[in-house]
Structure 1
């Protein structure tokens, strides 16, 4: 299921993420995925972003088709490794940082995932018919759920 999650995330890379001890709301961020680091998400942000201080964090994800959900727990740390920045840089990021990779406000945040809960909702044909007519959907008609210590 973790592999499916990464595929869904690549299709729609938006998550809500926040530091758990900060008492601030989560915010939408665009996750960057490095296939060589499957338990890690990256975010380009401004140095003044509320996540830039780093710390324990939680992120929530909803798949593009509302058929996959994830709640991720881990640690955010600044990771301004130029090699990683070069590897993940793209046109979407450049739109937010017109001065490019040398923008003085740019920081790359690394989110190392410690644990995750993943839900896939793949309602069967009979379940869809029941939804149309107000029937009760049985658990075996609706979804799967997984708890993992790491996403890899």
Structure 2
């Protein structure tokens, strides 16, 4: 079966889907080439196509992205039935000016010495492509999909009640 998912270059729409979802599952490849995922708090999605995170300079993810920059981020907002997968290249570095720009006081829970803590690294993921799914979860939409399936004998199509698209960054 051919994939009929629409493809767009609308990075802003992808960013809009994740801007309020603060936790992503970051997947990297470890030294044995096994996939490894862990939750990360997105600090600020950038409209230019970068996502920023703070991490400890000695964390395994810093080592892993130096060996293999390809990563995946998975976002899930179950309240609004929005799911996003982002693929991109990651780099880990220290930039005090950028740390100052991105710092917020709740980050002190992970970095008690504050924004001057030498162990703070920035993990920047440059979005290369993404995919999102959005399905309105209200009872009327679900009822429509159910009745349509009964009447036509066909499953709900993406363009009926759902949004699904691939985003290719130029």
Q: Give the TM-score normalised by the residue count of structure 2.
A: 0.74
Query: What are the ranges of 5 or more consecutive residues in structure 2 without an aligned counterpart?
Result: 1-9
Alignment CA distance shift 1:147-1:7 (3 Å): closer
Aligned pair partner of 2:56 in 46, 49, 58:
46
User: Cα gap change, 1:147/1:131 in structure 2, threshold over 3 Å: closer, same or farther?
Assistant: closer
Distance 1:96 1:64 in 2: 26
Instruction: Name structure 1 gaps, 5 residues minimum.
Output: none
Q: TM-score, normalised by structure 1?
A: 0.81
Give the whole-Å Cα distance in 1 for the aligned partners of 2:121 and 2:104: 15
Taking only aligned residues, the RMSD between alpha carbons, in angstroms, comes to 2.7
- 2:142 counterpart of 1:128: yes
1:116 aligned residue: 130
CA distance in 2, matches of 1:109, 1:57: 11
Q: Which runs of 4+ in 1 moved over 4 A?
A: 123-126, 130-133
Aligned to 2:85: 71
Question: Which structure has the larger Rg?
Answer: 2
Q: Name the residue aligned to 2:76.
A: 62
